[in-house]
Structure 1
Amino acid sequence: MIATPRRLVVKSAALAATLLWMGAAAPWAQAAEESPDAMIQRLSDEVLSTIRSDKSLQNGDVERVMAVVDSKIMPNVNFTRMTASATGPSWRKATPEQKQRLQTEFKHLLVRTYAGALKQVSDQTVEVKPLRSAPTDKEVVVRTVVKSKGEPVQLDYRMERTPGHGSGWKIYDLNVLGVWLVDNYRPQFAQQLNSGGVDALIKSLSERNQTNVAKGSKG
């Protein structure tokens, strides 16, 4: 069974992580024209405003969150790379159908894990740290701090520049309180992969998601 990471479910960390899944709520048409740090600042400000004005998001409505993720966010996150990195070498051996199932189950796990954190949005602001990069860099780390009345929360983004159609900066990992999401899940995935291969991992993720659905239906 895939366990929910303890360090990522504390309230402040979970709230910060929602900025990845909600952070593209505004159109990314300007992505190719913006620096990655400016883009993260703009999107962070816009998403906080969006959450505060949408009661269904504030209430952690999973179906509403999922709809926003599918329509606004997934096209702007390299989720294939994120899932592949968490899966490790077994990704290359997986069939196209298995890869799609892994991405679907992993996405559902993340969305359901963090949907409840939207209730915590109140007076938070996001400060983007100065970006140290060259114009020719294809990958960068954008470092931010989520501030509120409590302790500030570190939230960093790994981003890549994508060429060709739909070019611009895309997120492929995030760091909450010093823990990179991919690094956090990789050893959990490895346990399932070592015991039963890709199908075992898919089954474990699916069971975890079904458990989360059952808990949600019970209120």
Structure 2
Amino acid sequence: MSHHASARLTLILGLALALTCSIAAADGSAGAAALVREQVSRGLETVVRDTETIASDREHARAILERLYVPHADIEGIARFIAGPHWGDSEAETRTRFTKAFAEHLLRLYATAVSEYADEVAEFARHGEVEYRTVREANGRAVVRLLLQDRSGRSLSVDLMLHRDNGGWQVYDARVLGISLLRTYRASLRPRLADVGLDGISQELESRCGPARGKPGPHEPVPESRNDTCPPTQ
């Protein structure tokens, strides 16, 4: 696998875990790294098993992400962070609408990434290695580092940030090359939020996110990286 393919895989794993899922522990005493390992392994095994279907049908990829990760997700907490001060200034209905629109945007974005690179993810699952290191775990917070190495020896890492909530660990952010993906999202949306507010952003996300099934539709341009079905709000 090429270095760029490894980078894409790292981003797929890191983004999907950090921004569309939480990892809920049935046993609250389990370590954060063990839970991350379990969730990543489940995702890789699913891609290997369903590679052809995932590659040809983004909706199938979306359903997998939704089934594996969303039921226990702290999507509202992520949406609240992205919204910043606009969250407290908005009505409950507006906050709920934004949370749902942003969650759907993320599902479609990562479903596209997994679908477009299903063959590469499956190849990595069969021949690559993932090492899990606990960088820090104390006072209900943890940092788990994923070290990914393909069979050519190239390696990349991503740090997952977790906190313990109601006895379980939840991923709330990822850092790739030291850059917080959650903070990057917030910074990218901040100017537009200032112009149109949460309702305006929600409407744009709802209208711009086209069908997640099969190939992109005529109004669904995909950038060169081919990792987003929803054009970003400018």
TM range (shorter): 0.7 to 0.9
Map residues 49-198 of structure 1 onto 2, 5 A cutoff.
49-55=45-51, 58-59=54-55, 61-118=57-114, 119=118, 120-121=120-121, 122-123=123-124, 124-134=128-138, 137-149=139-151, 151-163=154-166, 167-198=167-198
How much has 1:14 moved relative to structure 2?
A: 3.6
Distance 1:192 1:160 in 2: 29
Change (3 A) 1:90 1:213: farther
Change (3 A) 1:24 1:96: closer
How much has 1:114 moved relative to structure 2?
A: 2.1
How much has 1:60 moved relative to structure 2?
A: 6.2
3-state SS of paired residue (1:129): strand
3-state SS of paired residue (1:45): helix
| Cα deviation digits, residues 187-214 of structure 1 (max 9, x gap) | 2221111112222211232233138789
How much has 1:156 moved relative to structure 2?
A: 1.8
Instruction: Check the 8 A contact 1:141/1:157 in 2, yes or no.
Output: yes
Name the structure 2 match of 1:209. 209
Distance 1:24 1:186 in 2: 18
How much has 1:43 moved relative to structure 2?
A: 2.0
Structure 1 counterpart of 2:54, one-letter code: Q
Match of 2:13 among 10, 13, 16: 16
Distance 2:200 2:97 in 1: 12
How much has 1:162 moved relative to structure 2?
A: 1.0
How much has 1:29 moved relative to structure 2?
A: 5.3
How much has 1:159 moved relative to structure 2?
A: 1.1
Structure 1 counterpart of 2:161, one-letter code: R
Structure 2 counterpart of 1:147, one-letter code: Q
Distance 2:112 2:11 in 1: 8
Name the structure 2 match of 1:37. 33
Structure 2 counterpart of 1:15, one-letter code: I
Change (3 A) 1:138 1:54: same
Distance 2:140 2:214 in 1: 42
Instruction: Check the 8 A contact 1:160/1:170 in 2, yes or no.
Output: yes
| Cα deviation digits, residues 45-94 of structure 1 (max 9, x gap) | 22211211013663163322332333331233311111111111111122
Q: Kindly report the root-mean-square deviation, in angstroms, between the aligned alpha carbons of the 2 structures.
A: 3.1
Instruction: Check the 8 A contact 1:128/1:144 in 2, yes or no.
Output: yes
Instruction: Check the 8 A contact 1:174/1:181 in 2, yes or no.
Output: yes
3-state SS of paired residue (2:199): helix
Structure 2 counterpart of 1:207, one-letter code: S
Normalization by structure 1: what TM-score? 0.77
Q: Which runs of 5+ in 2 are unaligned?
A: 1-6, 221-234
